[in-house]
């Protein structure tokens, strides 16, 4: 589908796991794109124009046609550029991939955020418990596969970059141990395999500044108590 007029822009911020998902998908497909860095404290007219509903990143703009919501974008990338499939071809397997990627947002991310960035002690404990429970479902689902997608990574792996790369940073920030190799050996091995995959490695933001950023965020939260 590539043509001489093909123009792909990604409005994002470096350091967002949701933006990172889109970068992994684009790099996997070998799509050239222009990264437009947004300032979320002073949103650009471009962002407000292209995502008037959520006013959030990532926004993919393909030949002037904008899309938001990271999982919607990743599926679009899979539909629009052939080769290196992100979703399985078989209907039931496709549906399971959608189910698990939604699970990562609705259950894992929601729980981890509660565990790490909540002031209320009781709420935080619930968050920890829910995180462990949700991660256990993923541990079971991984079985003995290399990736959630099988021999190659796919939609669920891309969705789960938040677990592989961001959750360990959150743990360090909060002094928590959620996602250890003892508790979740398969998921832990998967995470190492995944963040060291060449396509993923070049899509990840540098760790240290991110750690500093989230430490600051958490300190501000504690100070606002």
Q: Does 214 bind its own copies (CB under 8 A)?
A: no
CB of 46 to its own copies, least distance (A): 18
Q: Does 33 bind its own copies (CB under 8 A)?
A: no
**DSSP 8-state code for residue 119:** -
**DSSP 8-state code for residue 148:** T
Instruction: List the alpha helices (DSSP H) in the chain.
Output: 17-29, 45-50, 70-80, 91-103, 110-117, 121-142, 155-159, 161, 167-174, 185-195, 198-201, 207-223
In the set 2, 40, 48, 72, which binds its own copies (CB under 8 A)?
A: 72
CB of 210 to its own copies, least distance (A): 26
CB of 105 or CB of 171, closer to its own copies: 105
**DSSP 8-state code for residue 205:** P
CB of 106 to its own copies, least distance (A): 9
CB of 120 to its own copies, least distance (A): 18
CB of 14 or CB of 98, closer to its own copies: 98
Site residues (CB under 8 A) for its own copies, limited to 119-138? 137
Cβ proximity of 190 and 146 under 8 Å:
yes
Strand order across the 8-12 sheet: 34-37, 8-12, 59-62, 65-68
CB of 188 to its own copies, least distance (A): 21
Residue 123 main-chain phi, psi, to 5 deg: -60, -40
Binding range to its own copies, per CB under 8 A, among 15-23, 60-68, 142-150, 171-179: 60-68
For residue 192, give both structure tokens: 């190492």
What is the binding site for its own copies (CB under 8 A)? 53, 62, 65, 67-69, 72-73, 75-76, 79-80, 91-92, 94-96, 98-99, 102-103, 107, 137
């Amino acid at each position: 589908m590539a043509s001489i007029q093909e123009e792909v822009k990604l409005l994002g911020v470096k350091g967002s796991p949701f933006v990172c998902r889109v970068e992994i998908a684009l790099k996997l497909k070998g799509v050239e794109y222009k990264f437009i860095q947004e300032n979320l404290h002073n949103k650009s007219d471009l962002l407000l124009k292209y995502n008037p509903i959520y006013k959030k990143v990532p926004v993919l703009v393909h030949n002037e046609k904008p899309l938001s919501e990271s999982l919607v974008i990743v599926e679009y990338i899979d539909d629009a550029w052939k080769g290196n499939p992100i979703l399985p071809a078989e209907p039931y397997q496709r549906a399971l991939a959608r189910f698990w990627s939604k699970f990562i947002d609705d259950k894992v991310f929601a729980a981890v955020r509660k565990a790490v960035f909540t002031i209320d002690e009781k709420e935080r404990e619930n968050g920890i418990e829910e995180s462990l429970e949700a991660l256990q479902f993923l541990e079971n689902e991984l079985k003995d596969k290399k990736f959630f997608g099988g021999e190659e990574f796919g939609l669920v792996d891309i969705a789960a970059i938040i677990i592989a790369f961001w959750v360990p940073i959150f743990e360090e920030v909060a002094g928590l141990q959620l996602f250890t190799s003892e508790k979740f050996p398969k998921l832990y091995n998967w995470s190492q395999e995944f963040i060291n995959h060449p396509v993923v490695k070049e899509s990840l933001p540098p760790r240290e500044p991110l750690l500093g950023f989230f430490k600051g965020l958490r300190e501000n939260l504690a100070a606002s108590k």
